[in-house]
Structure formats: structure tokens, C-alpha cells
Chains A and B, each alone.
Chain A
Amino acid sequence: MSAREVVFEHVMEPGTGKAVPVLRGQILRIEQVGNGQCADFNAFNLHDYKEYFHCGRTRHLHGLFPAEGDMLWSAPPRERPMFTIISDSVGTNDIQYPRCTGFLYEYQFGFEQHTNCHDILAESIREYGLTPDDVHDSFNFWMHTGVDDEGKLYIKRLLARQGDYVELMAHFDILAVPNVCGADIFSTSNFELKPLKVQVLESNPEDREQWLQPEERQFRNQRTPDAFKVKDIKVTRELVPDESYTPDWPVYPIVKQPVEVTLSDEEAELVEQLRANGGFGESDGDIVRHAFFSWWIEHYMRGPTQHHVGE
């Protein structure tokens, strides 16, 4: 494999972050300088900051702990891959916890001022004219988390060691914003803040062949502002109704239609057995519909089905 040229390098000291452009096909590399430092991360379309990274869609498509091979997706209605994690030497990342904030440290610990990811990210993106309101939910590299039996989140000791790294290939031009997580009184970074090295690398042909997504949108519903009814970004803070507004719902009205499904006696008995299961609904129609669409999901749906049938 041919070498990758380093086009940008910066060491983020504790308490800092860095907004850095990563162009399509380039690789963002974040590396541990010390042992065990979480990096919070924001990302924006470099040419349209209203398209930005979305934890929710990423979590939906790749689960609670994305790692090598998974993608970082932009928010609806754009919804396209921004980055692919092409290398991850540890494999513990989090997209459930929100970034820490000044409020959090004041509320939980009584600090008037404390390093926190929101303020660090906000200061980083100020270089590009963005505001604290533009900081969004973060991807948390190396943050080692879990979910307990009651559905509550918890934080474990971070596993990364000096030299561990993540590499992300950009699928379009992006303003990437990593920061040294400011949490030194949670176990997020093992109670010590450490620097992180950020590099931007030119990918080689093998990298692009393996990882780079097509430049064109693959689905009509990966939308652009051209498709918006309101195309301009609102510049005033006050919200007032548009007197000329009339709703224009994308799909409306929703019209129900009855479909008669003729079942044999044996099939009718199956309805009763699914009713006894308890997880398919109450009426015969509900039960047959639930079973039918469950079958359809299992055989035809693209992507993670995340469908649980029955009790």
C-alpha cells in the first residue's frame, strides 16, 4: 500500500479542540498522545453548515457502539454518509452520551467554570463563524460506555493507550471538529486530561477503492436545500407565523382500505396461536397484518431491521 501524505497536523492540548477541513477522499486521523483520552467530535458540510453529523441516524444504522467499517451520517433530511471509520485500533466509541457542558459541571459539581466539550467545540467552530447554538450532539471516540439492565447508561474506564488511533475517510468536504473531552471528574478519560494528535492525510488509491462512497447521492430522499419549500436560512431569532402559510403535507390524507384475506381453517388456527402469543395484536386483522409485515421486514427490508416479533 502506498504511503499517505500528511497535509495537516496539530496536537490538541487539554482544554482545546480544532476545526479542520477534511476534503472528500482525505483521511482524518486522531491519535492518543497519552493513555486514555476521549475525543468528542462534531462535523459539518464544509459548503453548507446546515448539514451536520447526526448521532441518531448513526446509532440507528450502526448500533450503540460504532467502530471500524461503520459510517457517520448527516442529519435528516440530508442523511448521507459523512465519514467511514476505516481504522479503529480499540473499537470502543459512544454515541449515546451528550457532550458535557458548563451547566452539567455547575449542576452536578458546583463549578462556576470547568472544561467542557460544548464550550470547547463552540470556541473551535467560532473560527468559521458558527455559534454555540451550532454545536450538535457529539460522536465520542474511545468513550467506553454501556447500558445496564434497567436501560441506564454508564461510563467505564477508557481502554485506549498511547498510539491508539481512529481513521475516518471523508465522503464529501467536511469541517471536522474534534476536541479533548473536558471531563476529568468522570471516568470518561480516566480522571486525567491528555493531548490528542490530529492529522489529515491524503488517501492512497487503495484506500479510496476500498472505502470511498460515490459522490452522487444514492437516494432521492437524501435531500438538498433545493428541495426545501423554504430555502433560505432564517436570520432573525423571533418566531412569527407566516400569514400566507397553508399546510402542504407530503403524504396526506392517509386513506385506509379493507383487504379481505381468506384463510383456511388451518391458517385460522394459526391466527389463534399468534393471538395466544400476545405480541401480535388483538383482532384477527391486526394479527394477520402484524405477521405479514413482520415477514416482509425479514425478507425485503434493507439495512438493520431491528424488528422483534412476538412476546
Chain B
Amino acid sequence: MTQTDALASNGSTIASMAERTVVVEINQQQAEMLDRLIAEGGLGSRHGEVIRSGFARFCREHPELLGPDGDEAA
């Protein structure tokens, strides 16, 4: 997927060669929850890192929810 394609298909996505930046909207209460996770340690020191870490863990823990190639991808 090219950057142009990605932006055309989804306005919240910016594509690059090796990674993709996704914009997740949260509110102040959800931010507070992320702050607590940061304080606990182990998931990252920024909101984006914590969300990425939880997202990746969720996918690893739920291969059954992924597509036909989910087990391999996870």
C-alpha cells in the first residue's frame, strides 16, 4: 500500500516504508488510565507506546479473531 493509497482509504493513517502511524482518539479519562499503566511500568513511557503494546498483546492472545492467516500473523 502506498502512502497515497493509505491516505485515500483512511484519513487517520499515514503510511511509510516500514511502519504505519495510526491516530487513536482518547479522552482525558482514558488518558488517566493510560497514565496508570505507564506508572505500573512495562508497557512504555508514552500513551502511544502503551496502546501499541496492549494492541499487540491482544492480537497475540486472540489469534482466533484475526483473519484466515491470523495465527501466522500473530
One digit per residue, 1 when the CB lies within 8 angstroms of any chain A CB and 0 when it does not, for chain B 24-56 equals 111111110100010000000001100110111
Count of A-B contacts judged by CB separation below 8 Å: 135
**A273-B73 contact in complex given A255-B27, A289-B24, C-beta closer than 8 Å:** yes
B residues contacting the other copy or chain, number (CB 8 A)? 40
One digit per residue, 1 when the CB lies within 8 angstroms of any chain A CB and 0 when it does not, for chain B 15-28 equals 00011111111111
B62–A310 contact, CB under 8 A? yes
Measured between alpha carbons, how far is A294 from B65 in the docked complex, in Å? 12
Give chain B residues whose Cβ lies under 8 Å from the Cβ of A284: 10, 12-13, 20, 22-23
Choose from B18, B27, B31, B55 the contact partner of A295 (Cβ within 8 Å): B55
Measured between alpha carbons, how far is A295 from B62 in the docked complex, in Å? 10
B58–A263 contact, CB under 8 A? no
Measured between alpha carbons, how far is A33 from B30 in the docked complex, in Å? 54
Measured between alpha carbons, how far is A274 from B64 in the docked complex, in Å? 10
User: Least Cβ distance of B35 to chain A in Å?
Assistant: 12
A residues contacting the other copy or chain, number (CB 8 A)? 40
A309–B52 contact, CB under 8 A? no
Name the CB-closest residue of B to A258.
Answer: B23
User: Least Cβ distance of B39 to chain A in Å?
Assistant: 13
B26–A295 contact, CB under 8 A? no
Q: Is A259 an interface residue (CB 8 A)?
A: yes
Residues of chain B having any CB pair with chain A under 8 Å: 10-13, 18-31, 33, 37, 47-48, 51-52, 54-59, 61-62, 64-67, 69-70, 73-74
Task: Add 20 more A-B contacts to A254-B28, A283-B10, A292-B24 (CB < 8 A).
Answer: A254-B29, A257-B26, A257-B27, A257-B28, A259-B26, A260-B23, A261-B24, A261-B48, A261-B52, A262-B22, A262-B52, A264-B18, A265-B19, A267-B56, A273-B70, A284-B10, A284-B12, A285-B22, A300-B37, A309-B65
